[in-house]
């Protein structure tokens, strides 16, 4: 126990749209919830990692402490695209690992509202228009829609279609089945933004956003927060039997960035870094994919989830289409994936996502997930991708009890 680092407490707000609460309200709610869940006080905490993307220059962590207790501890405000929350979590993890303190708080929070398509660049309109090369590519005008798309639904559609090109048995229907599954799972999760089941026909017949991703295959923009309290094994031993029983071991914590690959200049390669991070995490934890009782992975779009079955080695190499066809990732399948409803239904508050998935897996490992509990869950994996790119993977295991 002594060398390991543990999740002592965790909490997430319901994901949705909050008109009457601001970013700080949401973050403070998650932080206080995680402290209470862990049975500890803000005075016990020696480091605070705060993940937020859209207001990352605004001292969000300090502003949260001003609401919940200004104890003078170091705050690390982190931004790392959609891996922001997981990076905040890992910041606290690293401080404990380094021996700077024995307890840390990580919060991920985002308020997005109805933001619409992400990645759309705005360029100011001018009366006088003069074409002049600008930037690293010598561009003379906005190239979105002229030289392909860089918007998220299209980027991840292209990532999925690339997999379809290289592997048999993958097409629109297989991608749609991913969304059908996650929306079906969401019905059991009261914290999900949307909790509505759709038939495969409804998923495929919904408004086409960026083929093959229909509206039901794109995650919504959402407000929400999630938090975790991390503790060293040594400190955990001094806590109560109940705290020790509910603590969940962090068997692997991995963060990487995208290594150079030839095609990655025109389309971010979300595969290579995920595969490398996963291999490293399995090695660190001494766990194989077959040992996993549940996985929360980064389904920002249905096309993304399908390729990560392969990247995380949940299915045979090249076999992601076949795996969804035989219901491998359903909650009663071989390895349940995104039983929370995933980003597709739960929502994707960018900074919160990488801790919300740790909340989900922790809750199952403790046997406290209610109607959506995966029976006797012992080992789980969380995965997020921040485009550009960052990949974070955590493997969590329940305590011996």
Partner 1 sequence: MASQIPVVDYLVLDAEPHLVVNACVACGARFFDRRNACASCAGTEFRREPLGRSGKVRSFTIVHRAAPGVPTPYVSALVDLDGGMTVKSNIVNTDPTPEKVRLGMPVRLTTFVVDSDSRGVECVAFGFEPAN
Name the residues that contact partner 1, by CB under 8 A.
117, 120-121, 128-131, 133, 136-141, 143-149, 151, 153-154, 157-159, 161-162, 164-165, 172, 207-213, 260, 262-263, 265-267
Nearest distance from C-beta of residue 153 to partner 1, angstroms: 7
The Cα 224–Cα 344 span in angstroms is: 15
DSSP string of 29-96, one letter each residue: HHHHHHHHHHT--GGG--EEEEE-STTTTS-HHHHHHHHH------EEEE-BTBTHHHHHHHHHHHHH
Nearest distance from C-beta of residue 152 to partner 1, angstroms: 11
If the CB atoms of residues 130 and 241 are measured against partner 1, the closer one turns out to be 130
If the CB atoms of residues 146 and 241 are measured against partner 1, the closer one turns out to be 146
The Cα 112–Cα 152 span in angstroms is: 15
If the CB atoms of residues 94 and 161 are measured against partner 1, the closer one turns out to be 161
Q: Please state the three-class secondary structure of 135-170 as a single string.
A: CCCCECCCCCCCCCCCCHHHHHHHHHHHHHHHCCCC
If the CB atoms of residues 47 and 209 are measured against partner 1, the closer one turns out to be 209
- Residue with token string 């398509």: 117
Angle at 213 between CA 209 and CA 214, to 5 degrees: 60
If the CB atoms of residues 2 and 265 are measured against partner 1, the closer one turns out to be 265
Written as six digits, the tokens of 98 are 């380094």
Nearest distance from C-beta of residue 328 to partner 1, angstroms: 24
Nearest distance from C-beta of residue 147 to partner 1, angstroms: 5
CA 192 vs CA 54, 59, 128, 241, 371: distances in Å: 21, 28, 48, 32, 13
Angle at 110 between CA 21 and CA 103, to 5 degrees: 100
If the CB atoms of residues 212 and 386 are measured against partner 1, the closer one turns out to be 212
CA 126 vs CA 122, 142, 143, 316, 357: distances in Å: 12, 13, 17, 53, 44
If the CB atoms of residues 136 and 401 are measured against partner 1, the closer one turns out to be 136
Nearest distance from C-beta of residue 154 to partner 1, angstroms: 5
Nearest distance from C-beta of residue 125 to partner 1, angstroms: 10
Nearest distance from C-beta of residue 321 to partner 1, angstroms: 14
């Amino acid at each position: 126990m002594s060398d390991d680092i543990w999740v002592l407490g965790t909490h997430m707000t319901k994901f949705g749209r909050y008109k009457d609460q601001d970013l700080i309200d949401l973050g403070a709610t998650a932080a206080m919830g995680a402290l209470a869940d862990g049975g500890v006080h803000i005075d016990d905490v020696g480091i605070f990692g705060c993940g937020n993307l859209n207001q990352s220059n605004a001292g969000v962590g300090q502003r949260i402490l001003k609401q919940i207790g200004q104890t003078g501890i170091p705050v690390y405000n982190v931004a790392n695209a959609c891996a922001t929350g997981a990076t905040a979590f890992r910041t606290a993890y690293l401080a404990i690992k380094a021996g700077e303190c024995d307890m840390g708080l990580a919060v991920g929070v985002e308020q997005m509202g109805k933001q619409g398509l992400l990645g759309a660049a705005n360029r100011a309109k001018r009366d006088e228009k003069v074409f002049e090369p600008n930037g690293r590519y010598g561009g003379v005008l906005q190239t979105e829609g002229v030289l392909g798309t860089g918007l998220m639904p299209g980027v991840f559609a292209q990532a999925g279609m690339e997999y379809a090109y290289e592997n048999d048995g993958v097409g629109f229907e297989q991608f749609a089945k991913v969304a059908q599954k996650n929306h079906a799972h969401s019905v059991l999760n009261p914290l999900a933004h949307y909790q509505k089941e759709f038939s495969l026909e409804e998923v495929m017949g919904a408004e086409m956003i960026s083929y093959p991703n229909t509206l039901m295959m794109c995650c919504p923009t959402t407000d929400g927060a999630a938090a975790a309290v991390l503790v060293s094994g040594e400190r955990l031993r001094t806590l109560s039997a109940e705290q020790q029983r509910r603590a969940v071991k962090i068997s692997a914590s991995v963060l990487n960035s995208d290594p150079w690959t030839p095609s990655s200049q025109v389309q971010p390669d979300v595969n290579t870094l995920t595969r490398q991070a996963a291999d490293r995490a399995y090695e660190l934890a001494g766990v194989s994919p077959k040992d996993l009782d549940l996985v929360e992975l980064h389904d920002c779009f249905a096309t993304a989830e399908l390729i990560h079955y392969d990247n995380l080695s949940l299915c045979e190499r090249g076999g992601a289409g076949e795996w969804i066809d035989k219901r491998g990732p359903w909650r009663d399948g071989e390895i349940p994936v995104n039983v929370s409803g995933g980003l597709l239904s739960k929502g994707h508050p960018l900074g919160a996502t990488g801790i919300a998935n740790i909340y989900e897996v922790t809750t199952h490992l403790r046997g406290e997930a209610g109607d959506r509990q995966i029976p006797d869950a012992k080992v789980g994996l969380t995965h997020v991708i921040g485009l550009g790119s960052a990949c974070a993977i955590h493997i969590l295991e329940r305590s011996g009890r």
